[in-house]
Structure 1
Amino acid sequence: MIVWLLMRIAQACGIMLVMTVLVFIGVHVIGDPTAMLVSPEASAQDRARMIAALGLDQPLWLQYLHFLGGILQGDIGNSFVFHLPAMGLILQRMPATLELAFCALLFALLIGVPLGLYCGLRPNTTLSKIIMTSSIVGFSIPTFWLGLMLILLFSVNLGWLPSSGRGETVKILGIGWSFLTLDGLSHLAMPAFTLSLYKVALVLRLVRAGVREIMPLEHVRFARAKGLSQRRVVVVHVLKNLMIPVVTVTGMEFGTLIAFSLVTETVFGWPGMGKLIIDSINLLDRPVMVAYLVIIVALFSAINIIVDILYMLLDPRIRPR
């Protein structure tokens, strides 16, 4: 187990190294940040001094070596716009994005699993057919459109929920969290639901398909023949087998929730990493863009390892020998 874990960590480090090359090259071909930072009226000497100050006058390979050296020291560079450490800016916004992603994932599980169980156990009822048909909406509605419609309904017309911001927070270990206050929850409700709708449909259909596959199996039929109640059969024999694909898929989807929360955070003015990276792209703030992408790759690698560990705990047959 320890050897397997060390090998997975080594693989993750190799993937991150490759991704840093791709990310570094990618962000250095999308534009010239000095065009955004230097006034059009500036002289050629002023422009040259700015380029030298940012280190952009060096060859790309040398810039990458300096970048790698900075990573080993925990320093990806300073933001061109904010003149602060880029990694610090990202980490400062990370709790807001993690909170939003966790709440969206919680919505997906609390709504998708029960509805999926119902549709799988009673596939021919009218309500089940309505639910399955409605789940197509979750795959089809664009996130930005749903967010705007929710703001129009609950903020503009009804005035029930705030349309932007994070609201009041409570600090734990120096980190502010919105879900611990009523005001924060009211700010969190709409963006979390908007971000979760696609995942609700995904979990619903995944659970429904799993139930339809597991119910005819011999061990389930044997448990029902022994006279076990429907609830015990579902909880002990069906849900236990369902947890393997659900954990695998939702674990990976949590990573996508973090990475692709850009649109939701922008629509609702949620002060997370997504909104920061959108602003950085508009301003061609390369260090912040690189820091964000490196952190996302690290998060995906960590989530992959955690999902693999949970997978082995749920199914001992796949544990390494």
Structure 2
Amino acid sequence: MFAFTVKRIAQALLVMLIISMIGFSIKSAFGDPVRELVGERVTPEERAQIREKLGLNDPFMVQYGRFLKNAIHGDLGRSFFFKKPVTEVIISKAPATLELVFCASLIVICLSVPLGIYSAIHPKRLFSKIVMGGSIVGVSMPVFLTAILLIYVFSVELHWLPSFGRGETVQLFGWWDSGLLTLDGLKHLVMPSIALSSIMLPLFIRLIRSEMMEVLESEYVKYAWAKGLKPRRVWLVHAFKNTLLPVITVGGVQLGIMVAFTILTETVFQWQGMGSMFIQSVERADTALMVSYIVVVGFIFVVVNTLVDLIYGLVNPTIRVAGRK
């Protein structure tokens, strides 16, 4: 297991290096940050001095090497617009995004597991057909359309829920602004969480259903039935337990995708998280903030998938053996 872990960590570091290089290489395509900083009245000579001071005239590899050296020490650069380190900007925006992803993940887990199991056990019942039909609609609808529909129904027509912002928040640990501990914050979380969960919920329902239907046809499940075990034990212990392996693998990838998809959700609901911060950084040509966002989201992808690989290796020892071969 130690060799398997070292190998996965080495792969994760290599992937992070590639992500940082790609993110750093595309920053020049998003405009000139000096123009956004100084406006139109500054002379070309003064702009050239500012570019030289910021190191924007250096060759690409020099700039990338400087970025990589600082990133190892936790310094991802300084935001041109906010006039402070990008780590501080990201930390101030991260709680909003992480709470949104957390609530959306809870919705996905709490709904996909029972609906997927029920649809696998009773595939011909009317409710199962409704669930599968709804999952097809959910897969087909883009998240921004779901968000707009929710706003129209629950905010414009029914006036039940607020349509934008985070609402009232409580500060925890001196830096984490949480909306989970106030009623107003929870009301503001409902629709963005549902909209974000609509990306993954249909996929997980169909995945759990298809995997469990396949497991229910396996020999060891038939043997469990032959032993006279109770249906609930056969379904949950023998069948669903062995359905979890592919679900965990896909879940790790989809969790990272959900973090990235908060851009659309946060834009529609004016949710002040990392997604909306990235859109603003593109509009303002704040290249340091853009690159840092790409690196942070890539880091979340890599960490989650590395943990999934390690958990998979613990659950299924044949993966470790195959990796050594």
Which of the five TM-score ranges fits, normalised by the shorter chain? over 0.9
Structure 1 residue aligned with 2:120: 120
The 2-side partners of 1:55 and 1:135 are apart by: 51
Structure 1 residue aligned with 2:30: 30
1:91 aligns with 2:91: yes
**How far apart are residue 190 of structure 1 and its match?**
0.4
1:200 aligns with 2:198: no
**Matches for 1:69-148 after TM superposition, within 5 Å:** 69-148=69-148
Structure 2 residue aligned with 1:184: 185
| C-alpha distance after superposition, 1:140-182 (max 9, x if no partner) | 1121111112112111221111111112233443323222322
The 1-side partners of 2:297 and 2:62 are apart by: 24
- Could you say what secondary structure the match of 2:177 adopts? strand
The 2-side partners of 1:312 and 1:209 are apart by: 23
CA RMSD after TM alignment: 1.5
**How far apart are residue 197 of structure 1 and its match?**
0.8
The 1-side partners of 2:254 and 2:145 are apart by: 21
**How far apart are residue 38 of structure 1 and its match?**
2.7
1:269 aligns with 2:270: yes
1:255 aligns with 2:246: no
The 2-side partners of 1:86 and 1:273 are apart by: 11
The 2-side partners of 1:312 and 1:4 are apart by: 8
**Matches for 1:213-224 after TM superposition, within 5 Å:** 213-224=214-225
| Counterpart AA for 1:205 | R
Cα distance, 1:172–1:43 mapped onto 2, change above 3 Å: closer
| C-alpha distance after superposition, 1:170-209 (max 9, x if no partner) | 3443323222322221111100100111211001000110
**How far apart are residue 56 of structure 1 and its match?**
1.2
Contact 2:30–2:287 (Cα < 8 Å) also in 1: no
Gaps of 5+ in 2: none
**How far apart are residue 242 of structure 1 and its match?**
1.0
Gaps of 5+ in 1: none
Cα distance, 1:60–1:207 mapped onto 2, change above 3 Å: same
TM-score (norm 1): 0.95
Contact 2:93–2:273 (Cα < 8 Å) also in 1: yes
| C-alpha distance after superposition, 1:240-294 (max 9, x if no partner) | 0011111111111111111121010111111111010000011110000011111
Structure 1 residue aligned with 2:40: 40
TM-score (norm 2): 0.94
The 1-side partners of 2:150 and 2:127 are apart by: 25
| Counterpart AA for 2:266 | E
The 2-side partners of 1:304 and 1:242 are apart by: 19
| Counterpart AA for 2:157 | N
| Counterpart AA for 2:79 | S
Structure 1 residue aligned with 2:316: 315
The 2-side partners of 1:4 and 1:282 are apart by: 43
Contact 1:243–1:314 (Cα < 8 Å) also in 2: no
| Counterpart AA for 2:102 | F
**Matches for 1:142-161 after TM superposition, within 5 Å:** 142-161=142-161
The 2-side partners of 1:122 and 1:161 are apart by: 35
**How far apart are residue 108 of structure 1 and its match?**
1.0
The 2-side partners of 1:62 and 1:312 are apart by: 40
**Matches for 1:233-252 after TM superposition, within 5 Å:** 233-252=234-253
Structure 1 residue aligned with 2:167: 167
The 1-side partners of 2:148 and 2:125 are apart by: 34
Contact 1:76–1:287 (Cα < 8 Å) also in 2: yes
**Matches for 1:46-65 after TM superposition, within 5 Å:** 46-65=46-65
Structure 1 residue aligned with 2:17: 17
| Counterpart AA for 1:77 | G
